[in-house]
Structure 1
Amino acid sequence: MPKWTLHTEFKFDAAHLIEGYDGKCGRMHGHSYKVHLSAESNKLNPSKYLETSDMVCDFRELKWAAKDAEKGGLDHGVLNELVKVNPTAERIAEYIYKETDRRIPEGIKLTITVWETENSWVEYTE
């Protein structure tokens, strides 16, 4: 059976605080987040931008979170207001996964990796 795996990376800057955290992260601060997203599929699909079944999914749909917060993404937003859960790196990765999953065709296996700092990251998949 064929298999295709798309990979893309993007960055966004955002502010957050971790409510209830006993330490510096309990105060409002910002990060330059890096996201690696992989999308694996055994079939090719059409997209919002291409009617023929020639892609796993569109890279544009995978990179939605890099858009400005005022345009539906996360860039230059306050994650506490956008994510609606305590925005730890784990919850941010989960949020990006779920929002991406609803934008792409069914049957695509996603893996989301979010770097909060150069040396600290989390990976999320279902």
Structure 2
Amino acid sequence: MTKIRITKQFSFETGHALFGYDGKCKNVHGHSYKLSVTVIGTPITDRDNVKFGMVIDFSDLKTIVKEEIVDLFDHATVFNQTTPHVELAKELKQRGHHVILVDYQPTSENMVVDFAKKIINRLPNSIALHSLRLQETETSYAEWYASDNL
């Protein structure tokens, strides 16, 4: 049967700072991220299945990505937990801000790897994550492809 790729796009606002970086991004700032999630699979052939003809229902994919990424990262500030930014994170949390501490430098490259792991863990066995594209600015993005990570 034919393999088909489908893509769903998401957007969210997230702040971050890159500790130790030698440019402007060492300062706390934010981005309007756009995430494109592409999965691959075979459309359902069982005519009695309500999802007949679909690889995955777009709403099911939306639920996975919203729960694992968008709802968590939207309007949050992300810091590397192994840097002095932990002190700033504590202060912000005490003031009611949504802060996420991660075990990596919160670059687009590292975030897209984190997102891939989260999505893969939630997909049904019959569907594979094909690729992710995390757009940080109008002209800059990071991509993750399953074929590059075998």
TM range, smaller chain:
0.7 to 0.9
Q: Whose Rg is larger?
A: 2
Q: TM-score, normalised by structure 1?
A: 0.79
Alignment match, 1:93: 112
Aligned length: 116
4+ long deviations beyond 4 Å? 51-55
Question: Larger % of helix: which?
Answer: 2
Is 1:108 the counterpart of 2:134? The answer is no
Q: TM-score, normalised by structure 2?
A: 0.68
Query: Measured at CA, do residues 82 and 53 of structure 1 come closer, stay the same or move farther in structure 2, by a change above 3 Å?
Result: farther
Partner-residue secondary structure (3-state), 1:93: helix
Is 1:66 the counterpart of 2:70? The answer is yes
- Residues of 1 paired with 2:13 and 2:111: CA distance? 13
CA shift digits 1:40-99 (9 cap, x unpaired): 11364xxxxxx86644332223432222xxxxx210111222443111110111111110
Report % sequence identity: 30
- Residues of 1 paired with 2:4 and 2:101: CA distance? 32
Structure 2: runs of 5+ lacking an equivalent: 80-99
Structure 1: runs of 5+ lacking an equivalent: 45-50, 68-72
- Preserved contact between residue 40 and residue 110 of structure 1 (Cα < 8 Å): yes
